[in-house]
Amino acid sequence: MNDLYSRHRRVLPDWLALYYDDPIEITHGEGRHVWDSSGRRYLDFFGGILTTLTAHALPEVTKAVSEQAGRIIHSSTLYLNRPMVELAERIAQLSGIPDARVFFTTSGTEANDTALLLATTHRRSNTVLAMRNSYHGRSFSAIGVTGNRGWSPTSLSPLQTLYVHGGVRTRGPFAGLDDRAFTDACVADLKDVLGHTRPPAALIAEPVQGVGGFTSPPDGLYAAFREVLQEHGILWIADEVQTGWGRTGDHFWGWQAHARSGPPDIVTFAKGIGNGMSIGGVVARAEVMNCLDANSISTFGGTQVTMAAGLANLAHLLEHDLQGNARRVGGLLIERLRAVAAQLPGVREVRGRGLMIGIELVRPGTDEADPQALAAVLEAAREGGLLIGKGGGHDTTALRITPPLSLTVAEAEEGAAILERALRSTY
């Protein structure tokens, strides 16, 4: 293993993050478990950064990939592609967007990049509204609308980005307000920003901020924003790369917690739909999607083999009501973790919904981030046989918990017990 780590460091970038002091190689998985190269088994509570949505080695997906690969893997978007059309039809119907069009990419970054291209072209403006503490990917334009300093290596951007309040409920100048007053204050802030600039193209927002530590506003905030945006003709882009496909339990899409004003103009997706295969995409109403006046293609977006995987994975997700399972098992897991947190001075908050759970850690007796404790808990959890993630903004540190949506009650209890021991060993 040390040899592989040495080889990794010799040929890959220094900024390519690895978890753990002694990084592990994951060699195979099944259900909610994975194994490393030494043969050790782990309960997976991170799913390849929210990507293994249903289960590792899901038979329906592996069968679909194998059968499609035996026919044809790839032909590009220059030719008709039956699996791509079939998956686009399913996603268009599920999106809630009227007269929807779907464009497939290979990642969430590329999906958000495409959404920004569509919005700025449609609106003839390169000004974009984004949320503080947000993350939208690693491309040049996606970094330009990312409001998280830890993931923004450059201030250069093709876009003029204006950041507004609302993505973080329990920190910032409005944290002490109740939900209604918090929403009103954020709307007032948005109106104030719009009074100082030419009309932006769009607001891009994650319904639950992923890399930011699973923070979110009160339900309805983006609906209130939408009413203001519509007065100015500004588009709403919902970044559902991490929140889509039922992960939050209560809703199939994260934006549906803010549904008073109807669906967004543009929805971006990726990660879980492919269950590990590289699928991203954009859904938009036809008027927006068709605004480009030049030719375009996607060499690898929508390949037959990835579309076959997406179709099989989506069918399994819906047929087995994994959204409902996320709501039920996730609710139990959150309550279990909150009971543990109440006894530990270093846990500031357990937040989230469904199987998208964040645990914010602080230095005991303060509201200050505690990156050392975060690293210690991550290591202790791995030693106990549990893989989890991490995130947060410049002043926060949070554990991220996102198991496959087929998680059982017994596995949730097992993971919670390991995490409790890891937290108690740190605090």
Q: What is the pLDDT of residues 380-418, one digit of tens each?
A: 999 999 999 999 987 889 999 999 999 999 999 999 999
**Count of structural domains within the chain:** 2
Pair type for strands 127-131 and 160-164: parallel
Q: 422 with 386: CB under 8 angstroms? A: yes
Q: Are 398 and 360 in contact (CB under 8 A)?
A: yes
Alpha-carbon distance of 278 to 307, in angstroms, equals: 9
Final residue of a structural domain among 260, 295, 319: 319
| 290 shares its domain with 213 | yes
Confidence grade of residue 248 (pLDDT, cut at 50, 70, 90): very high
206-235 mean pLDDT? 97
| pLDDT band (50, 70, 90) for residue 269 | very high
CATH code for the domain in which residue 8 is found: 3.90.1150.10
Residue that finishes a domain, picked among 291, 319, 347: 319
Question: How high is the pLDDT of residue 2?
Answer: 77
Q: Which two tokens stand for residue 270?
A: 């990726």
Q: Write the CA distances from 163 to 128, 145, 176, integer angstroms.
A: 9, 8, 20
Instruction: For strands 280-285 and 266-269, give the pairing.
Output: antiparallel
Q: Note whether 25 and 37 are within 8 A (CB).
A: yes
Task: Tell me whether strands 235-239 and 202-205 are parallel, antiparallel or unpaired.
Answer: parallel
What value does the mean pLDDT take over residues 95-119?
98
> Domain containing 174 — which CATH number?
3.40.640.10
Does 375 lie in the same domain as 275? no
Output the pLDDT for position 261.
77
pLDDT value for 1? 54
Instruction: Give the position of tokens 């690693």.
Output: 138
Distances (CA, A) of 38 to 28, 42, 45, 53, 102: 11, 12, 20, 25, 42
pTM comes to 0.96
Q: Which residues contact 354 (CB under 8 A, 6 or more apart)?
A: 246, 247, 248, 249, 250, 323, 326, 327, 330, 331
The verdict on 47 and 73 lying in the same domain is no
Q: In what side-by-side order are the strands of the sheet with 347-353?
A: 347-353, 356-361, 397-401, 389-391
Contact between 153 and 199 under an 8 Å Cβ cutoff? The reply is no
Residue 394: per-residue pLDDT: 77
Domain final residue, candidates 319, 345, 380: 319
Residue 105 reports pLDDT greater than 70 = yes
pLDDT band at 81 (very low <50, low <70, confident <90, very high): very high
Closest CA relative to residue 90, chosen from 255, 250, 245:
245
Mean pLDDT of the 236-252 span: 98
Task: Give yes or no: residues 94 and 25 share one domain.
Answer: no
In terms of Cα–Cα distance, which of 123, 29, 100, 81 is closest to 269?
100
Residues 273 and 335 in one domain: no
User: Would you say 60 and 316 are in contact if contact means Cβ atoms under 8 Å apart?
Assistant: yes
What tokens does 236 get? 């709403």
Query: Domain limits at 103?
Result: 62-319
Residues 160 and 256 in one domain: yes
